[in-house]
Amino acid sequence: MTGTLVVWDFDWSLFEENSDTIIFKQLSPYLFQQQRERAGKEQWTDLMASLLVALHQEGISRKRLEDFLDGLKLEPEMIQSLLLSKSKGAKHIILSDSNTIFIDKCLKASGVLDVFELVRTNPAQFDSEGCLRVTRLTPQSNPHNCALCNVNICKGKEMKSYLKGKEDFDRMIYVGDSKNDLCPSLLLRSQDIVLARSGFSLVPLLKAAKENDQLKASVIEWQDPKHLQRIFEQLFEH
């Protein structure tokens, strides 16, 4: 047994926004409206890929997009929670439905990129013309077949892949907010903890899972970064 592993969702968990929507909200109100109208009708990662191409066609250059992304930072309380837990020997990974460019930029701008051992999310890169291209982490040609997760990523599968071959952790902490965080939460043990954000979809799903004896881990709800920081201070006080 060895220490604590903290597994983070990104949007509305580690990062105090939805990184997939904020860029359109700020850079293209028209595409933001398109995103809202098309959400639920198209697979989300595919929709993001299409909208990012449209953003480039609107004249948003790579530099302008990167400059905007460089301004997206974690809240100070989140940074302190990361640094405190790391100082106590905790290891950190991210499992996210965002993309590699968004997350990498945010972590670098916040000075915490080296805190994380692994970031598993949708691959993204700029092409030769400066257009940001995003693809699904799990391609349609090789589905993960998990009924609980979005088709582009099974967070439970990714968490198990990270843990494979490693010595068991004394404790695992999962920080999440949405239905896509249910699958990995159900894999946790009785000594583990789910830190579920209040007011988001994960909380009622966990309550139902607990009532059906599907969830072994304990659940602690948190309201905002300041509240989460206080919880981290309690969890890592020794």
Long-range contacts: 22-25, Cβ < 8 Å, 24+?
22/72, 23/55, 23/65, 23/68, 23/69, 23/102, 24/51, 24/55
Specify whether 11 is catalytic.
Answer: yes
Within a 10 A sphere around the Cβ of 182, how many other Cβ atoms? 23
Within a 10 A sphere around the Cβ of 145, how many other Cβ atoms? 10
Catalytic site residue from 11, 67, 70, 127: 11
SS (H, E, C) 180-200: HHHHHHHCCCCCCEEEEECCC
Cα R_g (the chain), whole angstroms: 18
177 is an annotated ligand-binding site residue = yes
What does the longest C-alpha to C-alpha distance in the chain come to?
Answer: 53
Burial class (CB in 10 A: 0-12, 13-18, 19+), 42: middle
168 is an annotated ligand-binding site residue = no
11 is an annotated ligand-binding site residue = yes
Which residue is listed with tokens 């009708």? 41
Specify whether 127 is catalytic.
Answer: no
Q: Helices (H) and strands (E) in the chain — how many of each?
A: 10, 8
Q: Would you please indicate which residues are annotated as catalytic (active-site) residues?
A: 9, 11
Residues flagged as binding site for Mg(2+): 9, 11, 177
- Residue ranges at the known binding site for substrate: 20, 97
Q: Which residues are annotated as a binding site?
A: 9, 11, 20, 97, 177
